[in-house]
Chain A
Amino acid sequence: MPFGSAWLRFRRHRAAIAGAVALVLVTGGALFAPLLTPYGPTVLDPDHALEGPSVGHPLGTDDLGRDELARVLYGGRISLLVGVTAMLLGSIIGVTLGSLAGYLGGWVDTAVMRLVDLVLSFPAIFLLLILLNWTGGRGPVPMMVGYLGLFGWTGLARIVRAEYLSLRERQFVEAARAGGAGVPRVVFRHILPNTMAPILVQAAFAVAGAMLAEAALDFLGFGLPPEIPTWGNLMTQAESYLTSNPVLVIAPGAVVTITVVAVFFIGDALRDALDVRAH
Chain B
Amino acid sequence: MAAYVVRRAVQAVVLLALVSCVSYAIMDLAPGGPLAVYLHNPQVTPDRIAVLRHQLGLDRPWGERYLAWVAALLHGQWGDSYYTGRPVLSMIRERLPATLMLMLSAFCLSIALAFPLGIFAATHRYSWGDVLLSFGSFFAWAMPTFWFGLMLQLLFAVHWRLLPVAGMHDIGNASVPDLLRHLVLPAIVLGLGSIASWSRYLRSSVLEVLSQDYVRTARAKGLPRRRVLDRHVLRNSLIPIVTLMGLDLHVLFSGAVITESIFGWPGMGRLFLEALNNRDYPLQMAGLVISATLLIAGNLLADLAYVALDPRIRYT
Q: Do A and B come from one complex?
A: yes
Of B18, B284, B292, the contact of A133 (CB 8 Å cutoff): B284
Query: How long is the Cα–Cα vector from A216 to B142 in the complex, in angstroms?
Result: 12
Contact B144 A121 (CB under 8 A): no
Contact A256 B22 (CB under 8 A): no
Given the interface pairs A126-B254, A133-B279, A260-B142, the reply to whether A220 lies near B295 with Cβ below 8 Å is no
* B50-58, B146-154, B183-191, B302-310: which lies at the interface: B146-154
Binding site for A on B (CB under 8 A): 15-16, 18-19, 22, 26, 29-31, 135, 138-139, 141-147, 150-151, 153-154, 158, 250, 253-254, 257-258, 261, 272-273, 276-277, 279, 284-285, 287-288, 291-292, 294-296, 299
Given the interface pairs A118-B15, A235-B144, the reply to whether A126 lies near B150 with Cβ below 8 Å is no
Query: How long is the Cα–Cα vector from A131 to B285 in the complex, in angstroms?
Result: 11
A81-124 interface (Cβ within 8 A of B): 117-118, 120-124
Given the interface pairs A216-B144, A219-B144, the reply to whether A250 lies near B138 with Cβ below 8 Å is no
Given the interface pairs A220-B258, A249-B147, the reply to whether A121 lies near B273 with Cβ below 8 Å is no
**Pairs A–B under 8 Å by Cβ, sample size 24:** A117-B15, A118-B22, A121-B16, A123-B254, A123-B288, A123-B294, A124-B254, A126-B272, A126-B287, A126-B291, A129-B272, A129-B276, A133-B279, A219-B144, A220-B257, A220-B258, A235-B144, A235-B150, A239-B150, A249-B150, A249-B154, A253-B150, A256-B144, A261-B139
How many residues of chain A are within 8 Å of chain B by beta carbon? 41
Query: How long is the Cα–Cα vector from A142 to B253 in the complex, in angstroms?
Result: 28
Contacts of A130 in B (CB 8 A): 26, 276, 284-285, 288
Binding site for B on A (CB under 8 A): 15, 117-118, 120-127, 129-131, 133-135, 208, 212, 215-216, 219-222, 232, 235, 239, 242-243, 246, 249-250, 253, 256-258, 260-261, 264-265
Contact A235 B147 (CB under 8 A): yes
Contact A264 B142 (CB under 8 A): yes
Given the interface pairs A126-B254, A219-B258, the reply to whether A118 lies near B18 with Cβ below 8 Å is yes
How many contacts A-B (CB < 8 Å)?
A: 120
Best-surrounded residue of A212, A219, A221 (most CB of chain B within 10 A): A219
Contact B147 A256 (CB under 8 A): yes
Query: How long is the Cα–Cα vector from A260 to B26 in the complex, in angstroms?
Result: 33
Given the interface pairs A123-B254, A134-B31, A243-B158, the reply to whether A232 lies near B144 with Cβ below 8 Å is yes
From DSSP, what is the main secondary structure of chain A's interface residues? helix
Whole-angstrom distance from the CB of B200 to the nearest CB of chain A?
11
Query: How long is the Cα–Cα vector from A269 to B46 in the complex, in angstroms?
Result: 62
Best-surrounded residue of A118, A124, A126, A208 (most CB of chain B within 10 A): A126
Contact B253 A123 (CB under 8 A): yes
Whole-angstrom distance from the CB of A129 to the nearest CB of chain B?
6
Contact B142 A220 (CB under 8 A): no
Best-surrounded residue of B15, B144, B154 (most CB of chain A within 10 A): B144
Whole-angstrom distance from the CB of B291 to the nearest CB of chain A?
4
Contacts of B30 in A (CB 8 A): 134
Whole-angstrom distance from the CB of A32 to the nearest CB of chain B?
24
Best-surrounded residue of A124, A133, A264 (most CB of chain B within 10 A): A133
Given the interface pairs A257-B142, A260-B142, the reply to whether A250 lies near B276 with Cβ below 8 Å is no
Of A123, A219, A250, the contact of B291 (CB 8 Å cutoff): A123
Contacts of A120 in B (CB 8 A): 295
